[in-house]
Chains A and B, each alone.
Chain A
Amino acid sequence: MQIKETPKEYDAIIVGSGAGGGMSANILANAGMKVAVVEAGSFFDPKDPETMTQMKWPWESPRRGASTKRAFGDFDMSWGDWKVEGEPYTNKEGTDFRWWRARMLGGRTNHWGRISLRFGPKDFKHKDVDGLGENWPITYDEVKPYYDRLDKMIGVFGTNEGLANDPDGYFLPPPKPRLHDLYYIKGARKSGVPVIPARLSILTKRINKERGVCFYCGQCNRSCSAYADFSSGSCLIFPAQKSGQLDLYTDCMVKNITTNEEGLATGVSYIDKKDMGEYQLKARVVVLGASACSSARILLNSKSKQHPNGLGNSSDIVGRYLHDSTGSGLTAFVPALMDRKVYNEDGVGGMHVYSPWWGDNSKLNFPRGYHIEVWGGLGMPAYGFGFDTESINKYIGKQVGGYGDKLRDDVKRFYGSIVGLAGRGESIAHYDNRCELDENVVDRFGIPVLQFNYKWSDYERNQAKHMVDSFEEILTNMGGIVMGDKPGKDKDYGLLNPGQIIHEVGTTRMGNDPKKSVTNKYQQLHDAKNVFIVDAGPFTSQADKNCTWTIMALSMRASEYIVDQFKKQNI
């Protein structure tokens, strides 16, 4: 098959349209650069009625929203999950990493939890605190101006609390707590765990004339048709298109970066899903925002005489130090929340309050913290609603089982009485936790796939134990009764598989030493100065925060550096 070259030459090609790629496209196009965004998934606009799931009722799905076709249910706005048809990955024996991919414009930002937490000063220099992992080559103070601009540009609600490692920002006002939140606040405080308003990128108040304001349907994971939550397509790509500087290539799966004799990038080679032909695009700069693992895969598949080990991989670090957030959780039945008056408490899509990490790790048997997310309430029923509801009677000494009016009464009695706590914590990046090419397996585009090899250590297991112990105490303080067996040592204290929290970072980490890192502090490859990475790959370490807000602040910073270097003709 002949590879077709497109005559058009761009200033920059951006691979991927999620949080990192979307931000880069926005900055570069608005700075006057001619940009191509190449996205492996299909076009998606949250307000397109054909694909929209927001405000749909459960009966509109014949399976009532069950997860047969989408891992998080029919209405979740992610085209693709831990499995994508025709795009496998493999795991080294005895390991089980899960890799989520959303094949659509905007990627995972269409369904994400909108939890938008800045990393704190300690998070950039955590090796200084406990000697583990590696310090970032940048400080919080260097990133702060970008976080500040990001808050105003995209919008995030929250409150300034003056906490040392959970920095203040430019917040929109948060929504009031729900009923179960008030119980949680009481229960957590009793255990000395602080609770503050959540920080989510949802517009409770207008930030410009273009985007709408939240109308409290609680369905951000379905992607907001009013553009009142952050999705990369609606908030970054579409506005950037107005510059006239941006060409969008959807359904185009990038295979590799092409390079010249000097080892510099000349563009990308991609498969167009519409005709399965292979095409080449040319540009002076290539920006990878394909996601931490996809960008690593593209680099590893970009082998040449100048880069025999894959582009940017002279250090053999590409794909290494892969790390996800930890996760564990506990659920309780709270008798005081029985027989509730029913009212509309959909609120915003996600939690209204949360607990940032409060502990002192120097006195604990694990080095890094976690934050607590709270869920519960009078939610909209979907598949699974009512399962074993009558069995809750065992906690209040009433008859389990039954049918008829008794069952109807049980359903109403227990509606809204279940509260759950989930921990999301920081793991330590390890050299041996990695993804690499599996040369024996190709995807439907003929591209070698990734093989994962990722194991948790006792740091993460001890942290998960601390999570479930804390949750049990807080839930009990709330008058709750923990449901099911509290996971013990045999179950790693409920610690979920790596990849299940979908915060994977670190595969192309940044650093000052080209032998120990893939990019410099501007997310520019040490080995090829016109290639940048703007997803979570360059993260030197994860924090006890979600990664999206930092991906975007750093993408903004790296992209402005690109503009500067481009104008100076250094790249």
Chain B
Amino acid sequence: MDRRETIKSLLVGSVLGGVALTAQSCRTDEVAPIVEALQKPKYGRTPSEQLHDQKIQDAPSFFSAAELNTIAILCDIILPSSGEFGSAVDAEVPAFIEFIVKDLPMHQLPIQGGLMWLNGECNKRFQLPFAEANKTQQLEIIDQIAYPDPEKNTPQLEPGRTFFTRMRNLTLTGYYTSQIGIKALGYVGNRPNMWDGVPQDVLDKHGLAYEKEWLDKCINHETRDQVAEWDENGNLLNN
């Protein structure tokens, strides 16, 4: 069975089972255009997963333009640009948040309600919604909800802290899983390489060393392409 057949069988089997089979005239060549449309590999989806993604992409925006605007302001307060690295908005974190609340609806109410709380608090203090307040006014509120309150002096701000914690979590995750964020973090994996142990300067810094006896058992990459041979006692002969 080739790839196309695979996709088709997945499709017919699990996604359009009902639809395709109740249509008496259904022939496999009629399914083909649907199959083609669904063949946007990107990150290796099965057809039912692709349909799920497509439904989310096609759905109307969960957040209003005003809500998204406030989310963007919060994102860039949480992670503004820094040196060579762009901000959370540069990394398209608001779009990620818009997607994830539809994908994981448990986020919807806490964020929508949290935005309402934030606007309410801002209105109370400055007679302005958060987005229209100036930077000083915005940060006055943020500084009170971005940290825990161990003395419990301001229990009335707890809803704001809970909301800000969620926004901070989603902003961090959205940012550090983006191209900009991975670079900012310095993650240098996800590429072919030869793992050959902890760099010497790191070992030194930690006051650690590999034991010779242990190291002697480990892979010697220079012989990795030689087909392994053992003696009858299980001793590898060509490492």
Interface residues of A (CB under 8 A from B): 42-45, 48-53, 55-66, 68-69, 74-75, 79, 85-86, 148, 152, 155, 157, 159-160, 168-179, 182-183, 197, 204-209, 213, 215-219, 248, 250-251, 273-276, 336, 340-348, 378-390, 399-405, 407-408, 411-412, 415, 444
With A160-B234, A345-B189 in contact, is A205–B223 under 8 Å at CB?
A: yes
Contact status A345-B195, CB under 8 Å: yes
Q: Which single residue of chain B is at the shortest CB-CB distance from A343?
A: B199
Is B7 interfacial (CB-CB < 8 Å)? yes
Of B17, B39, B56, B182, the contact of A50 (CB 8 Å cutoff): B39
Query: Which B residues touch A68, using CB under 8 A?
Result: 52, 103-104
Q: Which single residue of chain A is at the shortest CB-CB distance from B174?
A: A64
Is B9 interfacial (CB-CB < 8 Å)? yes
Of B10, B44, B45, B188, the contact of A343 (CB 8 Å cutoff): B188
Contact-residue bracket for chain B: 35 or more
Chain A, interface SS category: loop
Query: Which B residues touch A148, using CB under 8 A?
Result: 234
Contact status A344-B202, CB under 8 Å: no
With A217-B189, A250-B9, A346-B189 in contact, is A273–B14 under 8 Å at CB?
A: yes
Query: Which A residues touch B172, using CB under 8 A?
Result: 385-387, 389, 407, 411
Contact status B169-A59, CB under 8 Å: no
Contact status B146-A172, CB under 8 Å: no
Query: Which A residues touch B13, using CB under 8 A?
Result: 42, 251, 273-274
Instruction: Return B10 CB to nearest CB of chain A, in Å.
Output: 5
Q: Which single residue of chain B is at the shortest CB-CB distance from A390?
A: B168
Q: Which single residue of chain B is at the shortest CB-CB distance from A382?
A: B177
Query: Which A residues touch B165, using CB under 8 A?
Result: 388
Q: Which single residue of chain B is at the shortest CB-CB distance from A388?
A: B169
With A74-B43, A275-B21, A348-B195 in contact, is A386–B173 under 8 Å at CB?
A: yes
With A85-B14, A399-B147 in contact, is A62–B56 under 8 Å at CB?
A: yes
Is B154 interfacial (CB-CB < 8 Å)? no
Of B57, B198, B203, B228, the contact of A206 (CB 8 Å cutoff): B228
Contact status B177-A85, CB under 8 Å: no
User: Measured between alpha carbons, how far is A480 from B23 in the docked complex, in Å?
Assistant: 62
User: Measured between alpha carbons, how far is A170 from B233 in the docked complex, in Å?
Assistant: 8
Contact status B195-A56, CB under 8 Å: no
Instruction: Return A63 CB to nearest CB of chain B, in Å.
Output: 5
How many A-B residue contacts, CB cutoff 8 Å?
278
Contact status A59-B178, CB under 8 Å: yes
Proximity bits, B204-239, A CB within 8 Å = 1, else 0: 011010100011011110011111101000111001
28 A-B residue pairs with Cβ-Cβ distance under 8 Å, sorted by A, are: A45-B3, A48-B6, A50-B6, A53-B43, A57-B179, A60-B43, A62-B53, A62-B57, A62-B96, A74-B43, A152-B228, A171-B234, A171-B236, A176-B210, A178-B198, A179-B198, A182-B198, A206-B225, A217-B191, A251-B9, A251-B10, A343-B188, A345-B198, A381-B173, A381-B182, A385-B177, A403-B146, A404-B79
Contact status B10-A42, CB under 8 Å: yes
With A170-B230, A276-B21 in contact, is A53–B44 under 8 Å at CB?
A: yes
Q: Which single residue of chain A is at the shortest CB-CB distance from B44?
A: A53
Query: Which A residues touch B103, using CB under 8 A?
Result: 62-63, 66, 68
Query: Which B residues touch A215, using CB under 8 A?
Result: 192-194
Contact status B100-A63, CB under 8 Å: yes
Query: Which A residues touch B45, using CB under 8 A?
Result: 51
Instruction: Return B185 CB to nearest CB of chain A, in Å.
Output: 6
Query: Which B residues touch A152, using CB under 8 A?
Result: 228, 230
